[in-house]
Structure 1
Amino acid sequence: MKKIYLIAVFCIGIVSAQAQKEELTWHTDVKEAIAIGNKENKPLLMFFTGSDWCTWCMRLQKEVLTTPEFTKWAKEKVILVEIDDPTRTPQAQEIRQEYNQIRGVLGIVGYPTVYFVRGEKKDEKFNLQPLGKTGYVPGGPVAWLEVANGILSQK
């Protein structure tokens, strides 16, 4: 009986821990993200990454973008968009073309780049209004969020 009780407590603990872990939604459809951002009156955080080859991108993910501090901040402040440029992972041609166009419009030349933008739909076209950009910032989530908040406070 004692074993059953311990197993039950252990299982409940695992389920509770899973439920408490907040998940973020990273959009890959820019038009959808713009619509959500406009509805919620939030800017987009566009993360330009080379997910399967860029060491600094992976470091930014690990040190900042997957932390509880970032998760809490992002849920309140921004709509997340991932613009990926993988080398080993297949990507649909339409997506690659759309992402290349966005990178060109914003002048993205290196990774990781995090751009804060407002999106608007005008005459069936979507326009991006840049607010500011950053990349990897040493010092973990506190240092990175300080830079991000500085950009967003200028809007």
Structure 2
Amino acid sequence: MHQRLRTAGFAILCAALAGCGGGDDAARDMNIERQRENLPTAGMAERESFLSLFTPVDESREINVNRNLWRASLDVLSMFPLEAADPFSGVISTGWGRVNGASAPYRATVYVTGPALDARSLRVAVFRQSGGSAVAVSDQVAAQIEDAILTRARQFTVAAQGPR
């Protein structure tokens, strides 16, 4: 008797979990694909295995991103919780956070691509949460964040040069 109840309970649990997926699969897949298009891919070809965690770190490895762009990106996005930041690949990814009383939470991914203090060395993708999925915001919002990062990076550069 207990075995049948346990089996029935397990079957009900499995059915309940199977129903948790919900939503439109095509819309979810399209949204995931849109997010992948906006994410930076540099350094993805050189995947590390689990065993590489135990090998010594190469201290001669250089950071090939602009230091001031990196610092400015972290400074401008400081209102969001930081999820990941890798100065070797130039990727900064934030968690969901609200901006100035906005109704929906936002998140951003910044990709610093090179050593030059230039707009071509910076890519920003911004998403807002809508109905449990991430939706890309307009290019104008991303451009405004890029401008704020570039302005802050120039301020860092001028401050580092000192008075003339």
Normalised TM-score (structure 2): 0.27
Higher strand share: 1
* Higher-helix-fraction structure: 1
- Normalization by structure 1: what TM-score? 0.28
Q: Larger radius of gyration, structure 1 or 2? A: 2
